[in-house]
Amino acid sequence: MRDKLKKHLNQDMTFYAKFKNYGVRNIQMETKRRNLKVTQVERVLLHDLCDINGDFMCDHIWVSNSSLFKNQNVKDGDIVQFKAIVDSYIKGYFGKKDDRNTVIKLDYGLNHVRDIKIYQGKLKID
């Protein structure tokens, strides 16, 4: 669990992190006719997340809104500064396979990512 993010729940904050790569997550959604629809959501993997004061928050985090990163041609190793809202979500496996023994728990992440600035090399904090 990301305890340091938990302290800032629902706060709109500025962060910086090292961009790693893009990834895809499959999300199963139930339709009105009780059919399962699988949707792919593209996400971004960031490492060494810190707040604007330099306080370490977590070693890695996945965020949505990958188009913002692609529009700015972010590359592996670039430092990105951005604003986001700290939010909670339920983490774990909710399917019907009995062979998966994952624990369902509350975790913390970032939503509404925006105002991305890219720094190649050294970070310049505004």
| Amino acid (1-letter code) at residue 95 | G
Read off the pTM: 0.78
Specify whether the CB–CB gap between 64 and 41 falls below 8 A.
Answer: yes
Specify whether the CB–CB gap between 119 and 81 falls below 8 A.
Answer: yes
The residue ranges of every structural domain in the chain are 3-119
Give the residue, 40 or 28, on which the prediction is more confident. Answer: 40
Sequence-ordered alpha helix ranges (H) in 22-86? 66-71
In the prediction, which pLDDT does 103 show?
A: 74
Model confidence over 31-42: pLDDT tens digits? 666 667 777 888
Topology of domain 3-119 in CATH is OB fold (Dihydrolipoamide Acetyltransferase, E2P) (2.40.50)
Model confidence over 59-114: pLDDT tens digits? 999 998 778 888 888 888 899 999 999 999 887 766 666 666 667 788 899 999 99
